[in-house]
Structure 1
Amino acid sequence: MAAKDDVQRRTLELLWKGARRPARGPQQGLTVERIVAAAIDLVEAEGLTALSMRRVAQELGVGPASLYTYLPGKAELEALMLDAVQLGETLPHEWPGDWRAKTEAWARSDWEGFRRHPWLLRLVATTPFPGPNTLRWLDSALRVLEDTGLTEPEKMAVVESVDSYVRGQARLSLEEHAPSPTEASERDALLAELVDFTAYPALTRTIQAGVAPYAADRFEFGLQRLLDGVATLITTRTPPP
């Protein structure tokens, strides 16, 4: 437990106080920001499995020992990487429109970000150290709901629910294999030959209506239904005119 507490303290101090000046001859031109940027470039090119202090040092053209004069280890580096990319070009409350338009905008922006940078999903799930950018984003997302009449716990629950939905859908989309048109046609022909679809009447009616399973835009459909529920809750908090 003590070792875990030490990692937490070191990580939070790095995120909120910044790195102390190295005591053992800092490498010329090397900074925490350069180390974090090199680590991000590495995982963008090769994935998170390639990340190690040794590989980052190699990318920077220095020995691994040089990195340890700036950062205690990989856990702290991952926390700094996550916080460095936490903010997009637009904060949630800066999008145009009402609370729903803003929420839709930041949800779609985050979804696209996770799909472009899948390594973020792993760090978000395994790096429980909130940094300045993380809290700035959360504060902004809560500001979106300021004039809705929701209670403070409800506002937080809405933000967390939408955020969890976005991450879950992004993870599913990255795990799935989208067949090519030829593969899909061959698969459907085999299924028609091998499967007695009379055993699945509801599914048969859906297919006969022209709907291909797993082909719809699940992200958008689910996001709208989630926000429909939030909108209904907001109407119960809004006093009648």
Structure 2
Amino acid sequence: MPEDPPYLRIVAELRRRIESGELTPGARVPSVRRVAAEWDVALATATKALAVLSQEGLVRAVPRVGTVVATPAPARRSAPRRDPSVHLTRDLVVRAAIDIADAQGFAALSMRAVAVELGVPTMSLYRHVRGRAELAMLMADTVFGEHRLPAVPPPTWRAQLELSARMQWAAYRQHPWLPRLIPITRPHPTRNLMPYVEWALRAVDGHGQDTTTMLHAHITLFGYVRGTAVDIETEAQAEFDTGLSAEQWMDANEAGFSAVLDSGSFPVFARVSSEEFAFDLDALFEFGLQRLLDGFAVLFR
């Protein structure tokens, strides 16, 4: 009988450690490099083994931590989770939707999922929201309502725009699904997002530019923050799918990058270290924010 491929033997051993309790929920599992060294296999083989464990739901990637043993999902209860004495409201519906999106991603959100979360019939939700599209708008508005701009702004236009951008970034960091719900070309006049528009326009008002330029500056900055934040969810999904952090993914693909760079066709890029290439999104956001504001300084003197 043929022997199992190396990656399956690794999967079997790590599965045994998890199921026996040797590796407990939340404990870090060996990194790609450690797996490769322990079993004397290529990084690609180690990567494949951890990806299989992730697909089985035994491990999960945690940003800035690494791959850890997943906590077993609690058994689904047949009884409603909501206290029947609590009156169903729009706010309860929206909060439940945010909880689902935070835990499972926006793709997992549906009216039925919210109904299950609240322990109510699906049709009862439509007395409070018209459907998933309106629910998404209410979710975004609720989140921005939790990130309110201060009553007294900083003294300069640049400090005001910096503060606004960082508060938006914090909202996106807390809720990675949020950027995709905020359209630029078809904005919604929501009560908690509109203050960000007014704040930006007031920040640059009185600096010699017309309202079109002022509005374009706001949209450019808003679009930069939102566009960079889209990769928060993308990276989280990639970690879930592969079981690898960005650093581990770079390690696993080191041989491929080395082959390309050793060709001599990309001499400048070859000077970039692997640590520099595995950049931090927060650092990238700050770098871009400052360069964008440097450009604005030409307009708003």
Structure 1 length as normaliser, TM-score? 0.72
Distance 1:173 1:154 in 2: 30
1:112 corresponds in structure 2 to 170
Q: Give the deviation of 1:230 after TM superposition.
A: 0.7
Give per-residue Cα distances to partners, 1:85-126, cap 9 Å, x unaligned. 223434177442411112112212212321221111221149
1:225 corresponds in structure 2 to 291
Distance 1:129 1:70 in 2: 19
What value does the CA root-mean-square deviation take over the aligned residues?
A: 3.0
Q: What is the aligned counterpart of 2:246 among 179, 204, 207?
A: 179
Distance 1:76 1:141 in 2: 26
Q: Give the deviation of 1:163 after TM superposition.
A: 0.6
CA contact (8 A) 1:92 1:103 kept: no
1:66 corresponds in structure 2 to 124
Q: Give the deviation of 1:228 after TM superposition.
A: 1.0
Q: Judging changes above 3 Å, is the alpha-carbon distance between structure 1 residues 124 and 61 closer, same or farther for their aligned structure 2 residues?
A: same
- What is the correspondence of 1:95-134 to structure 2 with a 5 Å cutoff? 95-125=153-183, 128-134=187-193
Q: Give the deviation of 1:55 after TM superposition.
A: 1.9
CA contact (8 A) 1:92 1:106 kept: no
The secondary structure found in structure 1 opposite 2:272 is helix
Distance 2:194 2:252 in 1: 49
Give per-residue Cα distances to partners, 1:12-44, cap 9 Å, x unaligned. xxxxxxxxxxxxxxx961221222122212222
Q: What is the aligned counterpart of 1:157 among 210, 216, 221?
A: 216
Matched, 1:213 2:286: no
The secondary structure found in structure 1 opposite 2:145 is coil
Q: Judging changes above 3 Å, is the alpha-carbon distance between structure 1 residues 67 and 225 closer, same or farther for their aligned structure 2 residues?
A: same
Q: Judging changes above 3 Å, is the alpha-carbon distance between structure 1 residues 78 and 147 closer, same or farther for their aligned structure 2 residues?
A: same
CA contact (8 A) 2:90 2:128 kept: yes
CA contact (8 A) 2:179 2:227 kept: no
Q: What is the aligned counterpart of 2:300 among 228, 234, 239?
A: 234
The secondary structure found in structure 2 opposite 1:144 is helix
1:30 corresponds in structure 2 to 88
Gaps (5+ residues) in structure 2? Answer: 1-84, 239-244
Q: Give the deviation of 1:224 after TM superposition.
A: 1.3
Tell me the number of residue pairs that the alignment of Structure 1 and Structure 2 aligns. Answer: 206
CA contact (8 A) 1:57 1:63 kept: yes
Percentage identity across paired residues of the two chains: 37
The secondary structure found in structure 2 opposite 1:215 is coil
CA contact (8 A) 1:42 1:56 kept: yes
Q: Judging changes above 3 Å, is the alpha-carbon distance between structure 1 residues 188 and 47 closer, same or farther for their aligned structure 2 residues?
A: closer
Matched, 1:140 2:210: no
The secondary structure found in structure 2 opposite 1:85 is helix
Q: Judging changes above 3 Å, is the alpha-carbon distance between structure 1 residues 230 and 68 closer, same or farther for their aligned structure 2 residues?
A: same
Greater shift, 56-65 or 187-196, is seen at 187-196
